[in-house]
Amino acid sequence: MEITATRDQVSRALTQLNQQLIGLGLDPDALIRMELVLAEALNNIVEHAYCDAGHGNIALEASVHSNTIWCHLTDSGRPMPGGKLPPARRYDLGALDVQDLPEGGFGWGLIHDLTSSLIYDRSGAQNRLTLTIDLDC
Amino acid sequence: MDITCETQGPVCIMRVISDRIDAAIAIQFKDMFRDMVACVTGPVVLDLGQVTFLDSSGLGAVVAARKLLGADRTLELAGLNPAVEKVMQLTRMNTVFLIHPNRDAALAAHGVAPAA
């Protein structure tokens, strides 16, 4: 599917995709993991690759084979910083006061935790992210 | 999206009327919560029973809501659906918030008997 790079359109596309895949009888827990990973990856593209400009396209392809959900995301926004995937950021929450609790920075941690593989490459003016979610884990 | 507010004994129960708290409505949630807590005192329970999806932006908004209450008050959560619970566990935010199975359990924890 083609998604215009705004938060509203990402939200709408994920709801639609989830309904389609529930209809296929896929494991509900795998769909939760997929929706979460895609929400983080897509909103990163909206926010960072397209700088919240309110336009730009994201192509999302999802397929299921070999007990795995495969997702391919392609966009024409800015490349990832340094041309590579950002690392997962981890917080020591127990050491923080209430007012210092983080309100962001969870996205890549969630993506790394919930995917079984994650590949980024820049090809010409396009970012391509391929990720897989195991159906049973 | 909407938030309803109900006072029961010492507790204010805020119920989120939305299937999702995601990047599309996180700011709206935060603004609405801020306006509503300005008029209440004491502990607040955020009833997420209707919310079936929370992403990291939504989580950030819930954390921001927690901070709005300050260190002297508590924000407790109730009624986490599986997708919401997963995000709380993976980010370890389940160690920051007191979490009740549902609204009635949250009220009972504050000494309010459920309605007969």
For residue A83, pLDDT beyond 90: yes
Which of A54, A98, A103 is CA-nearest to residue B30? A103
Which of A34, A112, A45 is CA-nearest to residue A77? A45
B52, B57, B69, B96: which to substitute to probe chain A, counting the most A Cβ within 10 Å? B57
Looking at chain A, which residue has its C-alpha nearest residue B23? A7
Interface predicted TM-score (ipTM) = 0.94
pLDDT tens digits along A9-49: 999 999 999 988 888 889 999 999 999 999 999 999 999 99
- Burial of B94 from C-beta contacts in 10 A (0-12 / 13-18 / 19+): middle
Residue span of the structural domain in which A97 resides: 2-134
Looking at chain B, which residue has its C-alpha nearest residue A114? B90
Total beta-carbon pairs less than 8 A apart between chain A and chain B: 81
pLDDT tens digits along A38-82: 999 999 999 999 999 999 999 999 999 989 999 999 999 999 999
Query: What is the least distance, in Å, from the CA of B90 to any CA of chain A?
Result: 7
Task: Flag if B83 and A101 touch (Cβ within 8 Å).
Answer: no
CATH code for position A53: 3.30.565.10
pLDDT tens digits along B56-70: 999 999 999 999 999
Please give the span between the terminal C-alpha atoms of chain A, in angstroms, as a whole number.
27
List the single residue in A10, A106, A113 with the smallest CB-CB distance to B23. Answer: A10
CB B23 within 8 A of CB B57: yes
List the single residue in B53, B66, B87 with the smallest CB-CB distance to A101. Answer: B66
pLDDT tens digits along B25-82: 999 999 999 999 988 889 999 999 999 999 999 999 999 999 999 999 999 999 999 9
DSSP alpha helix (H) spans, A90-133 = 107-114
Which of B95, B112, B113 is CA-nearest to residue B11? B112
The pLDDT assigned to B39 comes to 83
Report the domain count for chain A: 1
pTM: 0.95
Residue A122: band (very low, low, confident or very high) from pLDDT cuts 50, 70, 90: very high
The residues, any chain, with a CB within 8 Å of residue A98's CB and separated by 6 or more, are B66, B67, B70, B71
Which of B38, B33, B43 is CA-nearest to residue B7? B43
List the single residue in B24, B56, B71 with the smallest CB-CB distance to A7. Answer: B24
